[in-house]
Structure 1
């Protein structure tokens, strides 16, 4: 049995709900605010460490509630200073997250699902089964733990968070938004929403929902082809979410939020790397204010794709820039420890605990 299974997961409760539980226990309701601050502002995962609560109350909390904390199972350090961590969850499942240090920023890349159901042909996670969604607190814990690594190894706090790890964030919509609410809340980690980017493979109805919810964080679309035939080939999700449907959803999203969108585009050698592909991408960019991040492909054992040459990538980017499109070339980080974009997958040595 999972420890604490019969107990209430306290981080699934609102402050008002905690207040109600404490009242039913005969405890002063003002304690609810203290408990809530320990959980979310101070990132406490042990009731015994809640030092301004009396021992009797701490014991009562331990009897009634569980804090299903995430822990670092293994951390790997890349030659380029990237740190990849495998995180063990309360039920023994494992996800991965990455700290990406740069001169001007410290970025945490976090996962939103155990595995993934979208089967993108170039992504290692896509070859794993999706076991379950992460809870909001499990996503939050990844941010906290990666933030501690940033402080410990580089003496810097996190500046940015990207939901670009394992899983499709928009298929775990409620928990992803709940995690961002706690990360950005004044009584949470108090990070600015504009420092957070959620990346999706492209689910049109959920992109529209982001617009309806008028989210303040950034949205990135993993595009990789602006041609339905090619995108269907590498991203089966496109068969139900065509480029036309995505364009309509993105225009709706922009009309509601006024947030520009980032398109992520891996340039695969001999597949989507010629002038026609660049022209199709430029045409897709006309739908709304946007920028393009061209990403190096990081080889995985399951696929035969190759990264385009540096010259081809530069020519591709130059064509977009000449069309007035803001275009950045993102160099891979953490390749040597399989921490780069598209490489996150649980290895044999990282399988869930028995």
Structure 2
């Protein structure tokens, strides 16, 4: 099998060119085609000679992902099933602006793994096996594909990226970090890291690593319960990453980066939606500089959870706001095509 050229660094690419009788500056041209112009074949690299392109093609693959299926929701959300070079499927979502005063926002929700190993009880991906991590290039390709959709459907480019699709990003740390670098680098897509949010179910060790690496992007924690007993029930990862350990790791991250964390909190009917639950969440926000996104639950066939009723949700959010917590209530998008939060399952 030919080597995936996008696994080579710029230095390794230059070394290959010089070792194969080519001028070293060709490496920079190829690197630009791969990461700035998002070329999917060597034939697209028109400033290289045909001989050079054929030599590249004989040694390397590019392995772009392809759109297997595409669905458009009544609310404008677009869900894509992406086929990878080995036949596996992942899903990504384009979420256009919902509010009239926010017409420029175009958000890509991308996946980081094929499946997931964390078995969160409310998430469709959690009922899948984790088959493998995505390569940095495969995450990058999702962004490129969703950006094309934004321009096709809305004549506007992507403005934001959230790593909230299939998989746990911090369990694919190296490739996620490399993908962010490709997306934000002037030699890549040139997006601002402040427009990127990486969401984690809570891997304390890797949250600290983000702090040590002094990342510039935003971090979100899928919290969903602010006491260990309830969180253990719905998120088994909490058994080895308790709220105490997470609070310590998140504070370490904040001290290193100066970036306030976002807590994501799905309000489940008759499980974590009482004022006592809201009080526990408020107490947790006092331990970590954070804002709260309250998210509507999106039912899945594998679980019996239900979204709380609007009145209870309003009381929950109102309690937090009275305590001075910054709260945003996120309405679900793309429910009718199983594109909403927690519904991605890599279906063809």
Q: Do Structure 1 and Structure 2 share a fold, with TM-score over 0.5?
A: yes
State whether residues 104 and 156 of structure 2, in contact with CA within 8 Å, keep that contact through their aligned partners in structure 1.
no
Match of 1:221 in 2: 221
- TM-aligned CA deviation for residue 107 of structure 1: 0.2
Listed as ranges, the matches of 1:95-244 within 5 Å are: 95-102=90-97, 103-244=103-244
User: What's the TM-score, normalizing by structure 1?
Assistant: 0.96
Distance 1:344 1:30 in 2: 42
Where does residue 297 of structure 1 map in the other structure? Answer: 297
Deviation, structure 1 residue 7: 1.2
Q: How far apart are residue 287 of structure 1 and its match?
A: 1.7
| Unpaired stretches in structure 2, ≥5 consecutive residues | 98-102
- Picking from 13, 27, 31, the partner of 1:32 is 27
Bigger mean CA offset, 156-165 vs 102-111 = 102-111
TM-fit CA distance, 1:272: 0.3
> 1 CA distance for matches of 2:134 and 2:63?
12
SS of aligned partner of 1:293: strand
Cα drift, residue 288 of structure 1: 2.6
CA contact (8 A) 2:195 2:217 kept: yes
CA-CA distance at 1:84 after TM superposition: 0.2
For residue 287 of structure 1, give the secondary structure of its aligned residue in structure 2: coil
For 1:62-73, list aligned pairs within 5 A.
Answer: 62-73=57-68
Residues 268 and 306 of structure 2 are in contact (CA less than 8 Å); yes or no, is this contact kept in structure 1? Answer: yes
Q: In structure 2, what is the equivalent of residue 55 of structure 1?
A: 50
Q: Which residue of 2 aligns with 1:80?
A: 75
Measured after TM superposition, the shift of residue 45 of structure 1 is 1.1
Task: Give the secondary-structure state (helix, strand or coil) at the position aligned to 2:286.
Answer: helix
1:272 aligns with 2:272: yes
Q: Describe the shift of the 1:287–1:104 C-alpha distance in structure 2 as closer, same or farther (beyond 3 A).
A: farther
> Deviation at 1:323?
0.9
Counterpart CA distance in 1 for 2:104 and 2:325 is 23
Shift of 1:8: 1.4
Q: Residue by residue, what CA displacement relative to the aligned partner does 1:69-108 show, whole Å, maximum 9, x if unpaired?
A: 1110000010000000000000000000000000230000
Q: CA deviation at 1:42?
A: 0.3
SS of the equivalent of 1:220 reads strand
Task: Give the match's secondary structure for 1:321.
Answer: helix
Contact 2:223 2:263 in 1 (8 A): yes
Distance 2:273 2:104 in 1: 30
* 1:91 equivalenced with 2:86 (yes/no): yes
Quote how far apart the aligned CAs of 1:159 are. 0.1
1:334-345 equivalence runs, <5 A? 334-345=334-345
Question: Superposed, which structure 2 residues align to 1:240-251 within 5 Å?
Answer: 240-251=240-251
Map of 2:100 onto structure 1: none
With the length of structure 2 as denominator, give the TM-score of the two structures: 0.98
Q: Matches of 1:16 and 1:176 in 2, distance apart?
A: 21
Q: Distance in 1 between matches of 2:160 and 2:247?
A: 27
Aligned to 1:3: none
SS across alignment from 1:272: coil
CA RMSD of aligned residues (A): 0.6
SS, match of residue 93 in structure 2: strand
Task: Give the 3-state SS of the residue equivalent to 1:308 in structure 2.
Answer: coil
User: Which digits, 9 at most, give the CA deviation of each residue in 1:178-222, with x for residues without a partner?
Assistant: 000000000100000000000000000000000000000000000
The Cα shift of 1:65 comes to 0.8
Offset of residue 346 of structure 1: 2.6
Tell me the distance in 1 between the aligned counterparts of 2:110 and 2:346: 14
Q: 2:281 corresponds to which residue?
A: 281
Residues 15-57 of structure 1: CA distance to partner in whole angstroms, max 9, x if unpaired? 1110000101100101000000000000001100101001000
Aligned length: 343
Q: 1:241-261 CA deviation, whole Å, 9 max, x = no partner?
A: 000000000011101001000
